């Protein structure tokens, strides 16, 4: 059974539902950051797997990898990127954009 896939599906569905409900305003930099963190996840997960720090039971994963990292590892990054802006503020119209240094509410 694919335990990681099942667990990841629950997290992704929860995060995606919060993101869809809140509809946060995200910038191009947000999406570029997601791509950057996914790339870093592929590199560093591959390194810790190659160093034999982490092992995965082949019966619990799909077997699809990016580098050496199983595809399931990327779900946590995606869930975090969906949840953070969705939970950032209580106002649905609030933008998820950094304020210039020196500006405070």
Q: For 3-39, write each residue's pLDDT tens digit.
A: 788 888 888 888 888 888 887 777 888 889 999 999 9
Per-residue pLDDT at 98: 58
Q: Is a pLDDT exceeding 80 seen at residue 102?
A: no
Q: What gap in Å lies between CA 68 and CA 24, rounded to an integer?
A: 33
Span 71-99, average pLDDT:
75
* Mean pLDDT value across residues 61-79: 90
Does the pLDDT of residue 105 top 70, yes or no? Answer: no
State residue 87's pLDDT score: 80
Which contacts qualify for 7-11: CB closer than 8 Å, 24 or more apart?
8/72, 8/75, 8/76, 8/79, 11/75, 11/76, 11/79
Q: Which two tokens stand for residue 71?
A: 């595809």
More confident residue, 8 or 103: 8
- How much is the average pLDDT of 60-78? 89
What gap in Å lies between CA 18 and CA 93, rounded to an integer?
14
Name which of 102, 37, 38, 43 is nearest 68 in CA terms. 43
């Amino acid at each position: 059974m694919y335990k990681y896939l099942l667990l990841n599906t629950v997290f992704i569905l929860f995060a995606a539902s919060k993101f869809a409900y809140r509809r946060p305003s995200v910038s191009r930099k947000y999406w570029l950051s997601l791509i950057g963190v996914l790339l870093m996840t592929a590199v560093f997960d591959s390194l810790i797997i190659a160093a034999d720090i982490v092992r995965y039971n082949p019966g619990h994963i799909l077997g699809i990898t990016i580098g050496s990292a199983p595809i399931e590892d990327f779900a946590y990054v995606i869930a975090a990127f969906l949840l953070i802006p969705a939970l950032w503020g209580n106002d649905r119209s609030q933008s998820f954009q950094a304020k210039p240094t020196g500006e405070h509410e």
